[in-house]
Amino acid sequence: MVVQEYLSRPHLVDELKYDLRIYVMVYGVNPLRVYMHKYGIVRFCTESYCKPTNYNLKNLFMHLTNYAINKDNDCFEENQGEDGEDEGHKRSLRAILEILAAEGANVQVLMRQIKDIIVKTMITSQPYLSHLYRSCQPEDLDNSMCY
């Protein structure tokens, strides 16, 4: 599932809008067991961010962080070499946490808050997931009726 909220004043790195990809695996629903992968990625826009206006709203390279869109921009920078995860328009979660720490953010608190959001989201959805799990029959799995 994707959960998101549009931020009218996003935090920028190098004047670029970005998003975090945090990977979570639901290992069990009853009892609920959730694991967060320690590696994530950060996807950047390829053009400097300006607040949306009627003139720039259609500039997808400025407002959307999707790799599938930004890789087609002439400004797109692939990650290169050993330190590639710290450069370019697709970086590691570790790289962005280092940038935030250098700006004075408490990244331990930030990661605790992210984990808290994940836990609360999963607790909210657990009854529904548990119901889906219980309602799937083995024959349904062969017919792609259950996900």
Under the banding of pLDDT at 50, 70 and 90, the label for residue 142 is low
Q: Please, which residues bridge with residue 25 across strands? A: 35
pTM: 0.79
Task: Please give the Cα distance from 108 to 117 (Å, whole number).
Answer: 14
* 30-41: pLDDT as tens digits: 889 999 998 899
Residue 143 pLDDT greater than 70, yes or no? no
Task: Please give the Cα distance from 39 to 68 (Å, whole number).
Answer: 21
Supply the angle between the helices 107-135 and 93-102 in degrees, to the nearest 10: 150
- Of 21, 5, 7, which is closest to residue 90 (Cα–Cα)? 21
Q: How far is CA 125 from CA 42, 96, 128, in A?
A: 26, 29, 6
Q: What pLDDT sits at residue 5?
A: 77
* 87-118: pLDDT as tens digits: 889 999 999 999 999 999 999 999 999 999 99
- 18-21 and 41-44 as β-strands: parallel, antiparallel, unpaired? antiparallel
Q: Which H or E run contains 114?
A: helix 107-135
Only one residue has tokens 């599932």, namely 1
